[in-house]
Amino acid sequence: MDTLRDPSRVRKYECGTIFGGDGLYVILRGKVAALEKNNNKVFAVYGPGDFFGEAALLSENETPAAFWAISDVDALPIKRADAAAFLASEPAFTFALMKGIYRREEELEEAFLAVVGKSWTAYRQELYDNLCKAEAEARRKAEAAAEKKCGEPEAPVESEEQPAAPVGEFALFPEGHAGGYALELAEVDNLRVCELDYRCPICGKKFSGLKNLSTKLVAGTTDNDLRRHYKGIEPVYYEVVTCPDCLYSAFSNIFDKPDHDEKGLLAELKVLKKQASFRFGTRPDTEAVFAGYYLALFCAPKCFSKAQMIEARLLHRLSWMYHDCGDEKMAELLSGRALEKYMKAYLELDLPPEPEAQLCVMIGELNFRHGNIGEAKNFYYKAKMNSMASAVLRRRAENRLDELKELEKNEAQDEPGKKRK
């Protein structure tokens, strides 16, 4: 305050005042609490000599925090509209303020480094590099598929009665899908799995399919990636519904809720239908279950505007099914693809606290399984610190975080011995 030329700029604010996000305030007397807007959680309390609202001063975007006077306050307001003129007239004060903003950034960087184990700059660059690699790989595969298609002779026009190709040649099955898998499919008993009438939102046809009765399932154990096991049945095998007429597929809870229909989808599905025949409906076999999931992956980005989480869940469940069939190579491949989609969902979607915490747990576990211990700890920590998530989920994240830290500690103790060998 000694550097301020014009003390008359100081204003008084009563206890309970909510400060607008229109500029920066320097506190001379009293205390102000900073709250997260999404849950009103206090994350900082500022007193004399502190400042707040610098984000509102330097950016026109809405700030994620709200500020509340928890006592009578004397403060110097620097509104965005007249900030340039004010700061130009108060050079010494401006310099002191710049030093304070820089010091706060240093403190945040140090805190981030202590928690994550790397600087924010390095972490952000790593995320960017991973996304670039994923996008480049997707483009490479798309270009390779296009080149292969262009090099093939034009297929003859087929009649509707033409026999389907063998199951193993289904175009949506990725390289490595060996076929001949066997899932333990349960009988329809109308207790845990029942028949249900559906109407396809794409072709309009009615058909009968299967659906889990979640209220009748008896839960058993839950894996670290939140896969829950049930007694006598595996609900994952029945979560996707496929229209046997046009092959549109989706999770049963969103089957009738596509928010847009990409032109040409029915024609593309018609081509796929000619390539293979599967026993969809109320008596599916293992190959039909796998095909339904891959069809749902094909349909998701064409039928749902925010498909990142849908694709991630489909890929994750496919990895579970390959694991159940004993194909660990495909299980690892699909879990890696699921991790990429979960990361995309985390970066692009605005999720409520509980789903966000669940997402962080899954990203943490998949990172651990793919050898990225630092990233695993980072996302488990995010889930642990999500105060709006359930206590059970936060405790699970905390326990897993402790296990990973202990694992790192043991590996560090073993390392010298390894070097001596």
For position 243, what pLDDT does the model report? 93
Please tell me the predicted confidence (pLDDT) of residue 295.
94
Surface-to-core class of residue 255, CB atoms within 10 Å of its CB (0-12 exposed, 13-18 middle, 19+ buried): buried
Residue-level pLDDT at 342: 93
Same domain for 300 and 188?
A: yes
Q: How far apart are CA 70 and CA 258, in angstroms?
A: 47
Of 389, 365, 364, the closest CA to residue 379 belongs to 364
DSSP letter assigned to residue 246: T
Q: What is the pLDDT of residue 207?
A: 92
pLDDT digits (tens, 9 = 90+) for 161-178: 333 334 445 888 998 998
Q: Are residues 310 and 390 in the same domain?
A: no
In a domain, 171, yes or no: no
Q: Which helix (H) or strand (E) holds 24?
A: strand 23-29
20 CA to centre of own chain: 32
Tokens of 188: 């329809």
Total count of domains within the chain? 4
Nearest C-alpha neighbor of 355 from the set 306, 407, 322, 318: 306
Tell me whether residue 225 is in a domain: yes
Q: Which of 349, 377, 411 is the last residue of a domain?
A: 349
On whether residue 251 sits in a domain, the answer given is yes
Angle at 301 between CA 38 and CA 166, to 5 degrees: 145
Q: State pLDDT tens for residues 377-414.
A: 999 999 999 888 888 889 989 998 898 888 888 877 76
Q: Are residues 138 and 247 in the same domain?
A: no
pLDDT digit string (tens) for 253-268?
999 999 876 677 888 8
Residue 415 is predicted with a pLDDT of: 61
By the 8 A CB rule, do 336 and 300 touch?
Answer: no
Specify if 166 maps to a domain: no
Looking at the structure, tell me whether residues 320 and 358 fall in a common domain. no
- The answer to whether residues 224 and 363 belong to one domain is no
**For residue 392, how far is the Cα from the chain centroid?**
20
Instruction: Answer with the one of 303, 325, 349 that is the final residue of a domain.
Output: 349
Same domain membership, residue 332 and residue 199: yes
Residues 198 and 308 in one domain: yes
Is the residue at 372 inside a domain? yes
Q: Which tokens belong to 41?
A: 């959680």
What is the pLDDT at residue 389? 85
Residue 247 lies in a domain: yes
Q: Please check whether residues 187 and 145 belong to one and the same domain.
A: no
More confident residue, 82 or 366: 366
CA distances (Å), 287 to each of 155, 166, 209, 232, 239, in order?
26, 11, 16, 21, 15
- The residue with greater pLDDT, 226 or 337, is 337
Question: Domain range holding 133?
Answer: 117-151
For 206-214, the CB contacts below 8 A with 24+ separation are 207/243, 207/244, 207/245, 207/281, 208/281, 208/282, 209/241, 209/242, 209/252, 209/280, 209/281, 209/282, 210/238, 210/241, 210/282, 210/284, 211/238, 211/241, 211/252, 212/238, 212/239, 212/252
CA distance 44 to 35: 7
Give the distance, in angstroms, between the CA of residue 283 and the centroid of all CA atoms in the same chain: 33
Residue 159 has pLDDT above 50, yes or no: no
Q: Name the E strands within 231-330.
A: 240-242, 249-251
**Is the confidence at residue 120, as pLDDT, over 70?**
no
> Taking residues 317-334, what's their average pLDDT?
94
How far is it, in rounded angstroms, from Cα 372 to Cα 365? 9
Backbone torsions φ then ψ of 77, nearest 5 degrees: -85, 135
Asked if residue 186 is part of any domain, the answer here is yes
Counting DSSP H helices and E strands in the chain, the numbers are 11, 14
Q: Are residues 252 and 339 in the same domain?
A: yes
Q: Please indicate, yes or no, whether residues 239 and 378 belong to a single structural domain of this protein.
A: no
Beta strand 51-52 pairing with 228-230: unpaired
Domain boundary among 59, 82, 111: 111
Q: Please give the Cα distance from 226 to 214 (Å, whole number).
A: 16
Tens-digit pLDDT profile for residues 329-387: 999 999 999 999 999 999 988 888 889 999 999 999 999 999 898 899 999 999 999 88
Same domain? For 137 and 209 the reply is: no
Residues 48 and 23 in one domain: yes
Q: Which amino acid is at 165?
A: A
Instruction: Outline where DSSP puts E strands in 186-335.
Output: 193-199, 206-212, 219-222, 228-230, 240-242, 249-251
21/245: higher pLDDT: 245
Q: Is residue 160 part of a domain?
A: no
